[in-house]
């Protein structure tokens, strides 16, 4: 593929509203857009989705930037890549840092698709021409405010509503929601806020016909989630726990969940996401594509992976306008009545708009073939 340079565009984007989960509230999003440029000046784009602080997972953007500059960017520039699947193999000796790996790998996937003049969705083996999407709503100060947000999103036609829960904002809040919205497709996401000591509370959620309970327990608790799933009617969906193909295989084997939220960054990129897709399909575990409050590049990668057949449940890839006054891509991602049309254009299917991006741009680091991995270890 002969990539001649990699640019790390570091953006600070301000979200329209604060977003509150069980682990905190944010309104600024620190995003890195990775641009891989080939010898003809063609660019492919990826997005690193690491959090600003290591509260969702152990990754955080400052560390991911170091990893991309010290290791993953130079490694890619120093090695011949024939297909995007080679990137995972190249990065394999380096432990974890999945979101940094995925950001670089995503740019390679987009570049390769553009070099071969095919949509990224087709390159991944996707079959859909449109995808159904839902929306994720943060915790609000009051249940009344949350009801207003839900009504707004239901009116916009989103195919499912996801709300955050945490101890003290769970059973009664969901009861209030169900009193007003008896039959909407509704799910909850706990972001690991509970333990098996809370089993009675979690079992009370069974009465509300929820689509799923996402990540009730800690990320590493596959056995505890299996114990919980055996006591719940409602499907458990895992997010933070599924940080690799092996974790997905373990969770399926143990019965830790009945649904998996696939996040491309969390699992290390599109190659691993495809592998998890095929494994889950073989075991009749439905998937949906979760979100990490992405800008447009990440949203388009999410749309592309969602075109694979076993992504059967609406994901978190709502319209760009859900979070951003102005996204960095043209056209923006737009869900009409909860449906996003898949672009037929090559690659991610929309242009990165540098005029719009520059309002958020803090810094761009450029890596060239002069840059070698900055390592103590040697073979
Ligand atoms: O709209 C989106 O991008 C999904 C937002 C969302 O629910 C999450 C984003 C990032 C981490 C978590 O807080 C949470 C999730 O767990 O899915
Ligand atoms: Mg989640």
SS in 3 state form for 245-282?
HHHHHHHHHHCCCCEEEECHHHHCCHHHHHHHHHHHHH
Catalytic, out of 153, 166, 263, 274: 263
Burial code (b: 16+ CB inside 10 Å, e: under 16) for 350-373 equals bebbeebbeebeeeeeebeeebeb
46, 110 in Cβ contact below 8 A?
yes
Name the CATH architecture for the domain at 3-117+353-368.
Answer: 2-Layer Sandwich (3.30)
Q: List Cβ neighbours of 295 (8 Å cut-off, separation of 6 or more).
A: 11, 13, 29, 31, 33, 47, 320, 324, 327, 328, 329
pLDDT of residue 267: 98
Confidence category of residue 288, pLDDT binned at 50, 70, 90: very high
Compute the distance between CA of residue 368 and CA of residue 379 in angstroms, rounded to an integer. Answer: 23
Question: Ligand 1: which of 29, 292, 296, 322 to mutate, judged by most atoms within 8 Å of the beta carbon?
Answer: 292
The response to whether residue 324 sits with its C-beta less than 6 Å from ligand 1 reads no
pLDDT at 45 (0 to 100): 99
Return d(Cα 37, Cα 14) in angstroms, integer. 28
Q: In the CATH scheme, what is the code of domain 122-348? A: 3.20.20.120
Using a 6 Å cutoff on CB, does residue 47 contact ligand 1?
A: no
Nearest atom (ligand 1) to Cα of 294: 3
Average pLDDT over residues 333-354: 98
Tokens for 198, please give them.
Answer: 């809370």
Residue 191 CA: nearest ligand 1 atom is 16
Q: Which atom number of ligand 1 is nearest to the Cα of residue 49?
A: 10
Is the Cα dihedral 324, 187, 268, 99 positive or negative?
Answer: positive
Q: 331: cis peptide before it, omega within 30°?
A: yes
The pLDDT of 318-322, averaged and rounded, is 98
Ligand sitting nearest the alpha carbon of 295: 1
Candidates 196, 143, 187; CA nearest to 168 is 143
Calculate how far, in angstroms, residue 56's C-alpha sits from the geometric centre of ligand 1.
Answer: 9
pLDDT tens digit sequence for 132-156: 999 999 999 999 999 999 999 999 9
Pocket test for ligand 1, best of 22, 56, 153, 242 (most atoms within 8 A of CB): 56
**Which ligand is located closest to the Cα atom of residue 24?**
1
Which of 262, 302, 316, 318 is the pocket-test mutation for ligand 1 (most atoms within 8 Å of CB)? 316
Q: Is 16 tagged catalytic?
A: no
Q: Is 189 in the pocket of ligand 1 (CB under 6 A)?
A: yes
Q: Hey, is 45 helix, strand or coil?
A: strand
Q: What is the pTM of this model?
A: 0.98
Collapsing DSSP states into helix, strand and coil, what is residue 369? coil
Residue with tokens 């059973």: 171
Q: Is a pLDDT exceeding 90 seen at residue 30?
A: yes
pLDDT in tens, 61-84: 999 999 999 999 999 999 999 999
CA–CA gap between residue 78 and residue 65 (Å, rounded): 18
Residue 59 in contact with ligand 1 by CB distance below 6 A = no
Q: Measured from the CB, is residue 35 less than 6 Å from ligand 1?
A: no
Q: What pLDDT does residue 158 have?
A: 98
Summarised one tens digit per residue, pLDDT across range 218-242 is 999 999 999 999 999 999 999 999 9
Q: Which of 113, 84, 120 is nearest to 302 (CA)?
A: 120
Whether the domain at 3-117+353-368 and the domain at 122-348 fall into the same CATH topology: no
Tokens describing residue 248: 């997905």
Residue 24 corresponds to which tokens in the numbers above? 């905190």
Rounded distance, CA 41 to CA 38, Å? 5
Q: What is the pLDDT of residue 285?
A: 98
Residues 6+ apart with CB under 8 A from 179: none
**Strand ranges in the chain using DSSP code E only, listed in sequence order:** 3-21, 24-38, 43-48, 130-132, 135-137, 161-164, 186-189, 213-214, 236-238, 259-262, 287-289, 329-330, 339-341, 351-352, 361-368
Q: Which of 295, 306, 307, 293 is nearest to 333 (CA)?
A: 295
Q: What is the pLDDT of residue 221?
A: 97
pLDDT bucket at 339, cuts 50 / 70 / 90: very high
Strand partners, 187: 162
Unique residue bearing structure tokens 């969770």: 251
Q: What is the ipTM of this complex?
A: 0.97
Q: Measuring CA to CA, which residue among 238, 233, 226 is closest to residue 263? A: 238
Q: How far is residue 5 from each of residues 109, 111, 112, 282, 364, measured CA to CA in Å?
A: 15, 12, 15, 39, 12
Whether residue 195 is predicted with pLDDT greater than 90 in this model: the reply is: yes
Give residue limits of the domains in the chain. 3-117+353-368, 122-348
| All residues at 6 or more sequence positions from 95 whose CB lies less than 8 Å from its CB, including other chains | none
Annotated binding site for Mg(2+): 189, 214, 239
DSSP, collapsed to helix, strand or coil, labels residue 304 as helix
Contact 54, 25 (CB under 8 A): no
Helix (H, G, I), strand (E, B) or coil at 167: coil
Measured distance CA(90)–CA(373) in Å, rounded: 12
Active site residue 164: yes
Residues 299 and 118 sit within 8 Å (Cβ to Cβ): no
Q: Is the pLDDT of residue 379 over 90?
A: no
| pLDDT confidence bin for 170, thresholds 50/70/90 | very high
Helix (H) or strand (E) holding 16, with range, is: strand 3-21
* Residue 85 clears pLDDT 90, i.e. is over it: yes
264 CA → ligand 1 middle, Å: 13
Q: pLDDT at position 220, please?
A: 95
């Amino acid at each position: 593929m002969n990539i001649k340079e990699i640019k790390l565009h570091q953006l600070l984007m301000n979200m329209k509203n604060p977003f509150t989960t069980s682990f905190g509230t944010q309104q600024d999003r620190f995003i890195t857009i990775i641009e891989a440029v080939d010898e003809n000046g063609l660019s492919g784009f990826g997005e690193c989705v690491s959090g600003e602080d290591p509260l969702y997972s152990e990754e955080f953007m400052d560390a991911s930037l170091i990893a991309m500059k010290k290791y993953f960017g130079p490694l890619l520039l120093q090695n011949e890549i024939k297909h995007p699947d080679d990137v995972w193999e190249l990065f394999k000796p380096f432990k974890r840092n999945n979101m940094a790996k995925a950001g670089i790998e995503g740019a390679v996937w987009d570049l390769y698709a553009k070099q071969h003049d095919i949509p990224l969705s087709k390159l991944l083996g996707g079959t859909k021409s449109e995808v159904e999407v839902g929306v994720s709503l943060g915790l609000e100060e009051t249940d009344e405010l949350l009801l207003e947000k839900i009504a707004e999103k239901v009116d916009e036609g989103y195919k499912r509503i996801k709300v955050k829960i945490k101890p003290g904002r769970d059973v009664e809040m969901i009861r209030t929601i169900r009193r007003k919205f008896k039959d909407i497709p509704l799910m909850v996401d706990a972001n690991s806020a509970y333990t098996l000591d809370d089993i009675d509370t979690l079992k009370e959620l069974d009465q509300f016909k929820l689509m799923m309970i996402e990540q009730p327990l800690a990320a590493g608790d596959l056995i505890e989630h299996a114990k919980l799933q055996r006591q719940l009617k409602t499907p458990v969906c895992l997010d933070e726990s599924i940080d690799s193909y092996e974790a997905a295989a373990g969770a399926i084997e143990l019965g830790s969940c009945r649904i998996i939220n696939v996040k491309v960054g969390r699992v290390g990129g599109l190659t691993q996401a495809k592998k998890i897709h095929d494994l889950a399909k073989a075991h009749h575990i439905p998937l949906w594509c979760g979100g990490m409050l992405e800008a447009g590049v990440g949203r388009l990668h999410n749309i592309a992976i969602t075109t694979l057949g076993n992504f059967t449940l609406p994901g978190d890839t709502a319209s760009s306008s859900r979070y951003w006054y102005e996204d960095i891509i043209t056209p923006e991602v737009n869900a009409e009545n909860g449906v996003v049309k898949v672009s037929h254009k090559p690659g991610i299917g929309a242009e990165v708009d540098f005029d719009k991006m520059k309002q958020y741009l803090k810094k761009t680091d450029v890596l060239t073939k002069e840059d070698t991995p900055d390592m103590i270890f040697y073979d």
